[in-house]
Structure 1
């Protein structure tokens, strides 16, 4: 059954003849003109060098790793954010647990200029920044502020809990400080430098 279908399908195909194939063939000469190829290659290289030097002169920043034509400064404007990287490198307990100890987090904030600022902040300082931002930022920016990690009075001195909270606070602080508008606001600058 299949053989009869395939033979009938083949009968509807146009027949191929050597005369039809010659019209579609492009003949390549037996020899290559090496001098002509070298000249064309040199012209292409010169054009590329001119384009690169023009791009280097008119570019606003370093080239992208993905393309020679796209620059990292394209379509971004100048950001007023002063920080480039945010890390909470650790935490320490201040005082004794019976007499009112508290935890201090070491926030290492690297600026655009490459200076690292170490801000030592308690969890209450993060809460204060959160509420300040909620009350002072324009309404359209409020949804960019993530919620803070919850308080846990019973586990607040356990190392596993503190390390987990450190990572959560680092993520929260990164979102706030590296946002192009929120990270440039006066409340954030005051919080970092206070």
Structure 2
């Protein structure tokens, strides 16, 4: 007789052919203290919920198609906001301070290829990129995931060529994500960054 809180115990059963005892396949033993498996290691199978099915299907029960929008059309509202087609961070200049090692900084030379005119050249410091990102996050708090992080800072290797090359690639990626996003491209925050 089993108690309410007890675990089932392996009971020997008879093999049909040979009559030899074998362990029941469906019975389980209570695990020992050392063999406890964390819940995130166990296999997790997701059950289909009505909410998730309703969110991706229409009234016929078929999944809704993914809608693509063409923002290259001249009449598109999104196209009107876009004015840049490509941004590159070309190179950098290390500007030395008044005393050796004090006040030195890196200035980044950027080229913005516009849709209607020629290229636009700007020079910015890393701190200006950081200010731009902070202001974009304040202006567009719901779009925080669309604003990529800036490359990390380093006090020790901030003037080393290898570090600066990685930072250059990161800043180029950041600017492309911002300038080629129609929502950010027309914002006063970005215009202030580019034209100040």
TM-score range, shorter chain: 0.5 to 0.7
Matched residue SS, 1:79:
helix
Deviation for aligned residue 1:82: 2.1
Deviation for aligned residue 1:130: 0.5
- Separation in structure 2 between the aligned mates of residue 126 and residue 72 of structure 1, nearest angstrom: 28
Aligned to 1:132: 135
Matched residue SS, 2:122:
strand
- Separation in structure 1 between the aligned mates of residue 92 and residue 134 of structure 2, nearest angstrom: 23
- Separation in structure 1 between the aligned mates of residue 89 and residue 124 of structure 2, nearest angstrom: 10
- Separation in structure 1 between the aligned mates of residue 71 and residue 147 of structure 2, nearest angstrom: 29
Q: Summarize the alignment of residues 86-101 of structure 1 with structure 2, pairs less than 5 Å apart.
A: 86-96=87-97, 97-101=100-104
By percentage of residues, which structure has more helix? 1
Contact residue 141 and residue 182 of structure 1 kept, 8 A: no
Aligned to 1:82: 83
Deviation for aligned residue 1:185: 0.8
Deviation for aligned residue 1:114: 2.8
- Separation in structure 2 between the aligned mates of residue 185 and residue 132 of structure 1, nearest angstrom: 11
Matched residue SS, 2:93:
strand
Contact residue 110 and residue 121 of structure 2 kept, 8 A: yes
- Separation in structure 1 between the aligned mates of residue 154 and residue 72 of structure 2, nearest angstrom: 43
TM superposition score normalised by structure 2: 0.58
Say if 2:172 is the partner of 1:170: yes
- Separation in structure 2 between the aligned mates of residue 165 and residue 72 of structure 1, nearest angstrom: 31
Corresponding residue to 2:112 among 101, 109, 122: 109
Matched residue SS, 1:169:
helix
Q: Looking at both structures, which has the greater relative contact order when contacts are Cα pairs under 8 Å and sequence separation is at least 6?
A: 1
Deviation for aligned residue 1:76: 4.5
- Separation in structure 2 between the aligned mates of residue 71 and residue 117 of structure 1, nearest angstrom: 23
Structure 1 unmatched runs, 5+: 1-69
Matched residue SS, 1:181:
helix
Deviation for aligned residue 1:81: 2.2
